[in-house]
Amino acid sequence: MSRQLEFDIFRYNPQDKGSVPHMQTFVLDETENMTLFIALNRLREEQDPGLIFDFCCRAGICGACAMVVNGKPRLACQTKTVDLPSQITLLPLPVYQLIGDLSVDTGSWFREMYQTTESWIHTNKTFDPTALEERMENEVAEQIYELERCIECGCCVAACGTARLRDDFLGAAALNRVARFVVDPRDQRTDRDYFEVIGNDEGIFGCMGLLGCEDVCPKGLPLQNQLGFLRRKMGITAIKEIFRK
Amino acid sequence: MQTYYSDLLVIGAGLAGERVAVEAAQEGFDVTCLSIVPARRSHSSAAQGGMQAALGNCAKGEGDNVDVHFGDTVRGSDWGCDQEVARLFADAAPIEMRRLAHWGVPWNRVVPGKSFYFKGGEKFEKEEKEEKRGLITARSFGGTAKWRTCYTSDGTGHAVMCTMDNRCAELGIDVFDRKEAISLIHDGDKCTGAVVRCLRTGELEVFLSKATAICTGGFGRIYKATTNAVICDGGGHIIAHDTGVVPIGNPEAIQFHPTGIVPTDILVTEGCRGDGGTLLDVNEERFMNIYEPEKAELASRDVVSRWMTHHMREGKGVKSAYGEHLWLDIRHLGDKHISTKLREVDEICHHFLNVDPRKQLIPVRPTQHYTMAGVRTNKDGAVYGLKGLFSAGEAACWDMHGFNRLGGNSLAETVVAGGIIGVKIVEFLKGYETDFKTALVADAVKKQQDRIENLRSGANGKENVYKVREEMQDALMEGCFVFRNDAGLKKCIDTLQGTLEKARNVGLVSDGLGANHELAAALKIEGQVKLGLCIAKAALERTESRGSHNREDYTARDDQNWLNRTLAYWREGADMPELQYEEATPHYEIPPGDRGYGGGTIIEADKAEIEAKTIKK
């Protein structure tokens, strides 16, 4: 016998003047290997075509479908209903602006973050198409990739105590991004340059160390290690700054 | 009405789109990119395997060069590609990989010393040279003579996408996300931008531009079983095709990937087989070595997909609630290899199947994967029929893939073609002036407003868009999949003609307000069914088997009659596509011959004709 699943889903469409935020209940029969991707699409196609939510790769690679599932931010596509009780509550991620129902605007948030952290290689070298590539140890390449695995789903920020308290907190995804460039030998920025960006309460010193970010990261990124690494680096830089003055 | 202006409007901000944008922005042009999702969520980011470029750095890539890469690409295409384009691509690929390294891609690098690798389930040893230490390394992929596929673990697409998007941010390119182009603005002669629906508010907006580039990826979602992201639904193809003057090139050329997992059709990378994974049947016995003794699991994708389907038809498939499938076995590669080099595969097995690939087999079957079909362009990426319109990447039929695309060549194409076509767009922009006719813009907007209003009010009818879509997907799965034949294709066309009628009578169930998905689906359903009809009609006419296009009733490759490319036009008011043909390539560097795998006979073309078109070296 398959279970009957009860979905309590947050509903609000800001573009509809008559819309009021509320919870709506849907019922669906569970099928084998059902994921929230399968369930939500069935609800939209069979019960309410007005339901708003995001999916893209539906394979846990792109990060589009993060939402709060029974209290915890996670990717809907790789959440199997068999791992959940028959009562499932779905809410949009907090912190980000709501687009409608379960869909939030992570795009604008991350774009702003790229600009703040200047998320690109800073170098004065120019590319020479006739030359061999600059050599790099494979270990270093793998270390960089390890930090670049972030899919910008937004779960870490949604689960962050500081981000919930203050709008201007950069969050683990941004600090992880900075760490990615710190370990990259191609980037010529110094610790002082990074200090300008993250050496404050909006950045590395705002973190309360609650570990929520790492707990919910669907890619299992070592976010707290990176925070610790940056905090030590920035702490030392701060002390040096004091002596410079 | 919000109106934006730029020199270049790029529709689609995946790797091809952003690479084009970067090229133009570097030259000082004002560039705008549109994307239905944040750029980094583009389907480019899902590519796990890697990018082919003949760097020849690693031990098993020694002796590789652009000529070998060119040859593999042409053979892979089953001589359906434009050889001029394949040459441009192979020559530029190594430079482009190095450029990506300069911009920040963390390519895996050569580590000197001895190490092991697997091939066909057997263990071999190789030794990397000290002098190559730290250069970009490569892995093995199907259909290639040398190890040529550059990679970053199993997240190549993701890593390159991050770097490219970083480059866009650095150059200050406006990348607007949640914007969907729903029609082109054109006068039948030249393109001057697009009407766009904002997927945040549902409002219509106008984007005017001197040049427009369609880089929206493939359209696999018109098939039910596809590895593609849900955004790969043909939006870009539809707005180009809708103009009536732009053809879809080789619509019948659709690639199926051997290893989509059952039931969700999520792709597990070719790297599994490249690294030594094997395919097993219901008795857990290998079978690819029987059909393809030389290449076995590493034969090209169309060949492997066909033998898998054949083997299942022989009664050797594994029965399941979701139909038959086969097994992929990577258990022997060991924990370390699976946890590092094939980590995404490990995660997919865990998250979607509850399977541990170290101990258990992975259920797989052939699944729609890639569209060699696309908006037809010339070698400069300029779209046939409309001045100022360009296309690059999977959306385009630039045609370096012909009738079958080699693994690792699509991701490489995005950036390599993006770079080459970006340069051509810059050349175009430098000498080009245009005018924007306000009446033309107003007309284009009005037409879309009316369409939306009719869908919302149900003025066309009450057909349910999701049901219509399902009918189309089922018809294509049945008639236009791995094997095709006369009766199946005719039936498919019949069904799709009925579906087209229904698609024209869709009405919304919901109110269609704001970021409404039903409206987005309804706006493109007619165009999708038309794409389906183009595939079926072109496949019916092409009475031969070439690359991924396989006719059970015409098993030979017929170079005498079909060494050409299909162009499918959809004239205004028509109910069926109009097919035209052009030569596959202006000249040959490699005259048509055997691919070296896949069996099959060849009806040879006229020798003198081929000779006359072959470049003498």
pLDDT of B499-539, one tens digit each?
999 999 999 999 999 999 999 999 999 999 999 999 999 99
* Nearest CA distance, A222 vs chain B (angstrom): 16
DSSP state of B172: T
> Would you mind telling me the total number of residues written for chain A in this entry?
245
Check residue A78 and give its pLDDT.
Answer: 92
Dihedral sign, CA of A40, A43, A45, A48?
negative
* List of chain B residues whose C-beta atoms are within 8 Å of the C-beta of residue A127: 98-99, 102-103
CB pairs under 8 A between A and B: 196
The confidence band for B24, taking pLDDT boundaries of 50, 70 and 90, is very high
H-helix segments, A5-148:
36-42, 106-117, 138-148
| H-helix segments, B148-284 | 156-171, 235-241, 271-274
- A35 Cβ contact partners less than 8 Å away, ≥ 6 residues apart: A76, A77, A78, A79, A80, A81, B264, B352
Q: Is the pLDDT of residue B54 over 70?
A: yes
Do B159 and A142 make contact, defined as CB atoms within 8 angstroms?
no
pLDDT at residue B9 is higher than 80: yes
Residues near A147 by Cβ (< 8 Å), separated by ≥ 6?
Answer: A176, A177, A179, A180, A183, A221, A226
Q: Do B514 and A148 touch (CB under 8 A)?
A: no
Q: Which residues 6+ apart lie within 8 Å of A18 measured at CB?
A: none
| pLDDT over 80 (residue B386) | yes
B539, two tokens: 């496949």
Most A CBs within 10 Å, among B351, B462, B471, B518, to test the A interface: B351
CA distances from B113 to B58, B126, B129, B275, B335 (A): 11, 8, 7, 18, 21
Output the pLDDT for position A179: 93
Contact B73, B90 (CB under 8 A): yes
Measured distance CA(A189)–CA(A174) in Å, rounded: 16
Active site residue B484: no
Helix residue spans in B28-135 (DSSP H): 66-76, 83-103
What backbone phi and psi angles, to 5 degrees, belong to B529?
-65, -35
Binning pLDDT at 50, 70 and 90, where does residue B268 land?
confident
Instruction: Give me the half-sphere count of Cα atoms (radius 13 Å) on the Cβ side of residue B605.
Output: 21
Residue B471's pLDDT is what? 97
Helix (H, G, I), strand (E, B) or coil at B569: strand
Tell me the average pLDDT across B290-296. 89
CA of A242, closest CA in chain B: separation in Å?
32
Phi-psi domain of B591 (left: phi exceeds 0; alpha: psi -120 through 50; beta: other): beta
- On the question of a cis peptide bond just before residue B263, with omega within 30 degrees of 0, the verdict is yes
Work out whether strand B389-391 and strand B113-119 pair parallel, antiparallel, or are unpaired: unpaired
Give which of B82, B52, B75, B48 is closest to B65, Cα–Cα.
B52
What is residue B274's predicted lDDT score, i.e. its pLDDT?
A: 80
Dihedral of CA A179/A185/A187/A193: which sign? Answer: positive
Predicted confidence band of residue B57 (pLDDT cuts 50, 70, 90): very high
- Higher-pLDDT residue of A209 and B286 is B286
What would the mean pLDDT of B238-258 be, rounded to a whole number?
A: 97
pLDDT reported for residue B512: 96
Average pLDDT of the segment spanning B312-341 = 90
Q: Any idea which of A38-42, A196-200, B186-190, B609-613 has the lowest mean pLDDT?
A: A196-200
CA separation for the pair A158, B539 (Å, rounded): 49
Helix (H) / strand (E) element for B490: namely helix B486-503
* Angle between helices B66-76 and B83-103 in degrees, nearest 10: 120
Q: Which of B135, B170, B230 sits opposite A120 (nearest CB)?
A: B170
Which pLDDT band, with edges at 50, 70 and 90, does B275 fall under? confident
Quick: pLDDT tens for B92-134.
999 999 999 999 999 999 999 999 887 766 789 999 999 999 9
Q: Which amino acid is at B139?
A: R
Residue with the bigger pLDDT between B509 and B267: it is B509
In terms of C-beta density within 10 A (0-12 exposed, 13-18 middle, 19 or more buried), how is residue B172 classed?
A: exposed
All residues of chain A having their beta carbon less than 8 Å from the beta carbon of residue B159 are 145, 148
The whole-angstrom separation of Cα B177 and Cα B8 is 16
Residues of chain B neighbouring A112 (CB-CB closer than 8 A): none
CA distance A46 to chain B (A): 9
Q: Which of B333, B119, B164 is nearest to B345 (CA)?
A: B333
CB proximity list for B158: less than 8 A, separation 6 or greater:
A61, A148, A149, A151, B40, B45, B46, B47
What angle do helix axes A191-198 and A171-182 make, rounded to 10 degrees? 170
Distance between CA B99 and CA B91 in Å, rounded? 14
DSSP annotation of B588: B
Q: Residues B493, B540: contact at Cβ < 8 Å?
A: yes
Cβ contacts of B42 on chain A, cutoff 8 Å? 62
Q: How far apart are CA B183 and CA B239, in angstroms?
A: 5
Of A110, A137, A184, the CB nearest to B38: A110
Any idea which residue has 């990176």 for tokens?
Answer: A226
Nearest to B253 by CA among B227, B218, B288: B218
Model confidence pLDDT, tens digit, residues B401-460: 999 998 899 999 999 999 999 999 999 999 899 999 999 999 999 999 999 999 999 999
Q: Nearest residue of A to residue B465 by CA position?
A: A45
Contacts of B158 in chain A (CB under 8 A): 61, 148-149, 151
Hey, are the CB atoms on A100 and B510 less than 8 Å from each other? no
- How would residue B468 be classed by pLDDT, with cut points 50, 70 and 90? very high
Could you tell me if B566 and B249 are in contact, meaning their C-beta atoms sit under 8 angstroms apart?
yes
Q: How many Å apart are CA A90 and CA A10, to the nearest integer?
A: 6
Instruction: Tell me the shortest Cα–Cα distance from B98 to chain A, in angstroms.
Output: 5
CA distances from B463 to A46, B453, B458, B532 (A): 14, 15, 9, 19
| Nearest Cα residue in chain B from A48 | B510
End-to-end CA distance of chain B: 58
What is the distance between the alpha carbons of residues A75 and A61, in angstroms, rounded to a whole number? 10
Name the catalytic one among B148, B221, B241, B257: B257
Report the distance separating Cα B280 and Cα B269, nearest Å: 17
Whether B332 is a known active-site residue: answer: no
The pLDDT tens digits of the residues spanning B354-375 come to 899 999 999 999 999 999 999 9
How far is Cα B431 from Cα B429, in angstroms, rounded to an integer? Answer: 6
Question: Bridge-partner residues for B395, per DSSP?
Answer: none
A103 interaction partners in chain B (CB closer than 8 Å): 515
Closest by Cα among B422, B379, B410, B375 to B395: B375
- Whether residues A45 and B466 touch (CB distance < 8 A) is answered with yes
Chain mean pLDDT for chain B = 95
Task: Report the 10 Å Cβ neighbour count for B347.
Answer: 18
Question: How far apart (Å, rounded) are the C-alpha atoms in residues B466 and A89?
Answer: 25
Q: What DSSP character marks residue B383?
A: B
Alpha carbon distance B484, B554 (integer Å): 9
- Top residue of A37, A38, A62 to mutate, by most chain B CBs within 10 Å, is A62
Scanning every residue of chain A, which has its alpha carbon at the shortest distance from the alpha carbon of B266?
A: A59
Give the distance, in angstroms, between the CA of residue A5 and the centroid of all CA atoms in the same chain.
28
Query: Cα separation of A13 and B518, whole Å?
Result: 14
How much is the average pLDDT of B145-173?
Answer: 95
Looking at beta carbons, which residues of chain A come within 8 Å of B12?
none
Q: Encode burial over B67-102: b for 16+ CB neighbours within 10 A, e otherwise.
A: ebbbebbbbbbbbbbbbbbbbbbbbbbbbbbbbbbb
B427 CB contacts (<8 Å, ≥6 apart)?
none
Question: Nearest-CA distance from B268 to chain A in Å?
Answer: 10
Which of A48, A80, A141 shows the shortest C-beta gap to B106? A141
Report in angstroms the alpha-carbon separations of B317 from B188, B283, B286, B365, B609.
51, 9, 12, 10, 45
Exposed, middle or buried: residue B440 (CB in 10 Å: 0-12, 13-18, 19+)? middle
**DSSP state, B109?**
B
Give the per-residue pLDDT at B487.
97
Confidence of residue B256 (pLDDT cuts 50, 70, 90): very high
CA atoms within 13 A on the CB side of A97: 9
Q: B200, B224, B233, B269: best mutation site toward chain A, by most A Cβ within 10 Å?
A: B200
List average pLDDT for each run of 10 residues in chain A, which is 245 residues long: 92 96 97 90 97 96 97 96 96 97 97 95 96 96 95 96 90 94 96 88 86 93 86 86 74
Q: Per the structure block, which two tokens stand in for B498? A: 């009925």
* Residue B269 burial by Cβ neighbours in a 10 Å radius (0-12, 13-18, 19+): buried
- Find which of A12, A42, A132, A136 to mutate to test the B interface (most B CBs within 10 Å of its CB): A136
pTM over 0.80: yes
ipTM exceeds 0.90 = yes
Query: Residue A127 to residues B51, B101, B316, B336: CA-CA distances in angstroms?
Result: 20, 10, 54, 36
Q: Is B399 exposed, middle or buried (0-12, 13-18, 19+ CB in 10 A)?
A: buried
Closest chain A residue by Cα to residue B174? A111
Residue A114 C-alpha, separation from nearest chain B C-alpha, in angstroms: 7
Chain B residue with Cα closest to A35? B352
- Give the pLDDT band of residue B567 (cuts 50, 70, 90): very high
Give me the pLDDT at residue B410, please.
96
Looking at residue B303, its pLDDT comes to: 84
Amino acid residing at B515: A
Partners of A137 on chain B (C-beta within 8 Å) are 109, 134
Diameter of chain A by CA atoms?
Answer: 73
